[in-house]
Amino acid sequence: MKVCVVGQGYIGLPTAALFAKNNCDVLGVDVNKEIIKDLKDGIVHIEEPGISESINNALTEGRYHVSLKPDKADVFIITVPTPYVIEDLSCDLSYVISACKSILDYLEKGNTVIVESTIAPGSTNDIIKPIFEEAGFTIGKDLYLAHCPERVLPGQIMYELVNNNRIIGGVTEACTEKAAEAYGIFVKGKLLKTEAITAELSKCMENTYRDVNIALANELTKICEKIGANALDVIKLANQHPRVNIHNPGPGVGGHCLAIDPYFIYSKAPDTAKIIKLARDTNNSMPQFTVDNAKKIIQNYTDEYTPKIAVLGVSYKGNTGDTRESPAFEIISKLQKEGYKIGVHDPHVEDESYLSLEDALDGASLALILADHNEFKDLDYNLFVDKMEDPIIFDTKDIIKDVPDEITLFNFGNLYKI
């Protein structure tokens, strides 16, 4: 089978690798010239276990090729980004529309087109389907169209693409069956067959569910700060109930899914989706909440004020280099506007301006942990004592449990003590 995967990012590249691994002839397409150039040389631009080895094996064996333009195939898979429109929070389908139009000249009767990109409910039927109908195809008869969203965890993408259950939402039953045939090549999980709009809304709701629950934990954190209770202890004890599972609070919600997908539902029914919007507003408020408390810590617990903060971690997900929609950037920007100098250290993110841990801590008033990397769970605290003016840590991810007496530790549980 020939497969053309349009978009070689966090989902498209692993998807292409898995089809190639299962003896398909795969063409990976991306508009980014640097990505295509690197992939031709076997240089993978995302940090994900197993992906580099899989791509290089496929390149060596001739099952994976890359290009700036599509080519003829049996199955076309669209995996491009879908941001939201700032004005009305609706789904920006411009990349999806462009990707669909880019394959028109290469489509043949009997082909299957699958949109994996997360899209608002109704998008497949109302916007994507007409693109192919206007090109002369009859959906469900000579062209098969489906929405099949991914549901994976960064750091485990290669495993979860294979083993997770997969939603298959066809425009018609025939479309669903054709898409299921394609994913049946490598998916070991269940193929959950449904219609396109149900698939679209299911994916959006998966992430909305998580976003709402994180917002509940974040709101609790704010309440506890005001009334003098330890939010982390409250969550720990409440979760002893057999039917309660409160999430962990954090400095904000990142990633392409949780930080964006709820808006796609809200924009379709803004007068009704009030909980969804309130949850988004709550999570969006956490960067400012983090900044406000960082300032209070510095003002109340430093002997000699120095306008430097060491930020440890900018990726939104621990042990990955994925910085999409990371709240760390908003926090850094807000702190800089407050007049603080920022020393950033992240062992998983490559940036020429980022520092070693030692240099980031040097002369800092506060070490602000924003990512739960494993490297931050086993720190050399002697560096903090030696390099910082006053060794204080503000751990927004609750990954540090014990510190030496010389170090003051704050987290989202004891903010009321500031």
Is residue 203 one of the residues assigned to a domain?
Answer: no
Give the residue, 302 or 312, on which the prediction is more confident: 312
Is residue 246 one of the residues assigned to a domain?
Answer: no
Residue range(s) defining the domain that contains residue 166: 2-196
**pTM (2 decimals)?**
0.91
Q: How many domains does the chain have?
A: 2
Question: Which of 170, 196, 222 lies at the terminal end of a domain, its last residue?
Answer: 196
Is residue 227 one of the residues assigned to a domain?
Answer: no
pLDDT at 383: 96
Is residue 266 one of the residues assigned to a domain?
Answer: no
Q: Are residues 14 and 122 in the same domain?
A: yes
Least confident of 190-199, 219-228, 297-306: 297-306
Alpha-carbon distances, residue 160 vs 151, 194, 412 (angstroms): 8, 20, 31
pLDDT digit string (tens) for 79-92?
A: 999 999 999 999 99
Q: Are residues 14 and 123 in the same domain?
A: yes
- Dist. CA 38–CA 209, nearest whole Å: 37
Q: Are residues 169 and 25 in the same domain?
A: yes
pLDDT at 77: 98
Is residue 347 one of the residues assigned to a domain?
Answer: yes
Question: Which of 196, 218, 233 lies at the terminal end of a domain, its last residue?
Answer: 196
- With beta carbons less than 8 A apart as the criterion, state whether 194 and 168 touch: yes
pLDDT at 304: 67
Judge whether residue 414 has pLDDT over 70: yes
- b/e per residue 132-149 (b: at least 16 CB within 10 A): beeeebebbeebbbbbbb
Place of tokens 């916007």: 127
Q: Are residues 291 and 413 in the same domain?
A: yes
pLDDT at 136: 97
pLDDT at 154: 85
pLDDT at 198: 98
The per-residue pLDDT of the chain, averaged, comes to 96
Q: Are residues 8 and 136 in the same domain?
A: yes
pLDDT digit string (tens) for 296-307?
A: 999 998 876 678
Is residue 202 one of the residues assigned to a domain?
Answer: no
Q: Are residues 302 and 187 in the same domain?
A: no
pLDDT at 301: 84
Alpha-carbon distances, residue 212 vs 19, 84, 247, 262, 281 (angstroms): 34, 18, 10, 9, 10
Q: Are residues 192 and 290 in the same domain?
A: no
| 26 beta partners | 3, 64
pLDDT digit string (tens) for 318-359?
A: 999 999 999 999 999 999 999 999 999 999 999 999 999 999
pLDDT digit string (tens) for 271-281?
A: 999 999 999 99
End-to-end CA separation in angstroms for the chain: 62
Q: Are residues 157 and 296 in the same domain?
A: no
- Dist. CA 205–CA 10, nearest whole Å: 21
pLDDT at 57: 96
- What is the signed CA dihedral for 331, 335, 338, 343, rounded to 10 degrees? -160
Is residue 76 one of the residues assigned to a domain?
Answer: yes
- Dist. CA 288–CA 147, nearest whole Å: 37
Q: Are residues 184 and 293 in the same domain?
A: no
CB atoms within 10 A of CB 37: 12
Residue 104 banded pLDDT, cuts 50, 70, 90: very high
Q: Are residues 49 and 191 in the same domain?
A: yes
pLDDT digit string (tens) for 370-407?
A: 999 999 999 999 999 999 988 999 999 999 989 999 99
pLDDT at 153: 86
Is residue 279 one of the residues assigned to a domain?
Answer: no
Q: Are residues 183 and 48 in the same domain?
A: yes
Pick the closest to residue 92 from 82, 100, 102, 101 (CA basis). 82
Q: Are residues 170 and 44 in the same domain?
A: yes
- Catalytic annotation, residues: 203, 257
pLDDT digit string (tens) for 118-134?
A: 999 999 999 999 999 99
Question: Which of 139, 165, 196 lies at the terminal end of a domain, its last residue?
Answer: 196
pLDDT-above-90 percentage for the chain: 94
pLDDT at 302: 80
Task: Check which CATH number belongs to the domain holding 170 and give it.
Answer: 3.40.50.720
pLDDT at 47: 86
Residue 151 banded pLDDT, cuts 50, 70, 90: confident
